[in-house]
Amino acid sequence: MASSKGFRGVELSTLTNIAVLLFILILAIIHLKVIIQPLVVAILLFFLIRPPAQWLEERFGHPLFAYGILVFGVVAVILMGGNILYDSLTDFSNEADSLSSKFAEKVTWFSDLSIYGYSFDTSALTDLISVQRINEIATGFVGDIAGFTGSAITTFIFLIFIIVEAETLPARLKAAYPEEIERFSQITENAGEGINTYVITKATVAFGQAIIVAALLAWQDIPGWFMWASITFLLDFVPYVGAPLSFIPPVIISFILHEPTTAFFILAVLFGNQLAWGQFIEPQLAGQRLDMSPIVLLILVAFWGWAWGIMGMILGVPLAVIMKLTLESDPRTRPIAMLLSLNPNKSTND
């Protein structure tokens, strides 16, 4: 009788089933985005608001009242921020024609500049950079955010049902899977703690960066300063590449509007702002960075960005945290979690 070969004791048929399930899952993620994305956001919001809701519940005695206050606050912040962001985009778009003419003047000045007899070829520069392209990028980014807020009603409907189900789900899981309830509880607790630590830390760091960016750009009369500060805040959730990319457009605009010394000053402040928050303040707040390989994080963020756009890139890291915690909870999948980990010895000891 022929025996099927496998990998590390796993039968080939099992690996085939896993590959088929992954393929189906990827298709569902792409084609059922309008349903799955709001559900994922609702789950993450639930993990995020659960600790303050429990604190409010201890003082007011009713869980729905506590969750209601927090949900109302989240909705108010999203609506207010969305309106201001749209107005900021409109202001920048109205300045686009004026910026384009000033950009042409700066390019002409730069092409006529000669240093020790060497001049600069600006043809490649104008092909790569233009105010119109910056406006298209900003419009597309804000459009992605607006597209997500358009599904906010679905997200909050999911969130309300998750809040209601959270009261009875543990008892049902215990009745249905009495032997697995401890593992389920551990995954939920660790996921909630990991997501809260990550989101609160990143939100604090991103908000601090955004405040400084907003103050600097408003001081230097950069059009759309609130929009660029908002983009800084959101892209800081994209690991490694998000924060550096966020200050490229305002730096280009500062070179268009100001003298080179002022523009270099703005560049230095934005770069120093990102470096100080990302390399010094964030590790102090979080205690340590995420225990995941940088290349794994980049691949996962790239995948979610390909599947769901900007919102997918922002959600990529919390989803990676949940995936890694789930893999660590089962001895059969723990080797995969070790491969994803930056410090596998620590993961095995936890």
Evaluate whether residue 321 is within a structural domain: no
Helix (H, G, I), strand (E, B) or coil at 245: helix
| Residue 83 confidence (pLDDT) | 80
Stretches where the chain sits below pLDDT 70 are: 1-15, 18, 61, 109-128, 146-150, 167, 190-192, 283-291, 329-330, 344-350
Task: Please say whether the beta carbons of 205 and 285 come within 8 A.
Answer: yes
Residue 82 is predicted with a pLDDT of: 77
Please say whether the beta carbons of 103 and 128 come within 8 A. no
Q: Is residue 54 one of the residues assigned to a domain?
A: yes
Q: What is the domain extent for residue 54?
A: 32-101+134-167
Task: Kindly state whether residue 53 falls inside one of the protein's structural domains.
Answer: yes
What's residue 90's pLDDT? 84
What CA–CA distance (Å, rounded) separates 102 from 99?
5
DSSP 342: S
Question: How far is it, in rounded angstroms, from Cα 350 to Cα 172?
Answer: 28
Instruction: Burial-class residue 200 by CB neighbours within 10 Å (0-12, 13-18, 19+).
Output: middle
User: Given CA atoms 279, 311, 328, 177 in this order, what sign does their dihedral have?
Assistant: positive
256 part of a folded domain: no
**Does 150 map to a domain?**
yes
- Which pLDDT value is given to residue 215? 93
Backbone angles phi, psi at 50, to 5 degrees: -60, -45
258, 248 contact by CB (below 8 A): no
Give the per-residue pLDDT at 18: 67
Q: Is residue 85 in some structural domain?
A: yes
- Tally of CB atoms within 10 A around 113: 11
Segments of the chain assigned E as strands = 114-115, 118-119
Q: What one-character DSSP code corresponds to residue 177?
A: -
Within a domain: 90: yes
Model pLDDT, residue 212 = 92
Q: How far, in Å, CA of 94 to CA of 13, rounded? A: 60
CA distance 247 to 275: 12
Which amino acid is present at 184?
Answer: F
DSSP helix/strand/coil, 337 = helix
Cα-based distances in Å from 65 to 84, 151, 179: 29, 24, 34
Domain count, the chain: 1
CA distances from 241 to 245, 246, 283, 298 (A): 6, 9, 17, 9
Asked whether residue 73 is domain-assigned, the answer is yes
pTM here?
0.75
pLDDT at 3: 47
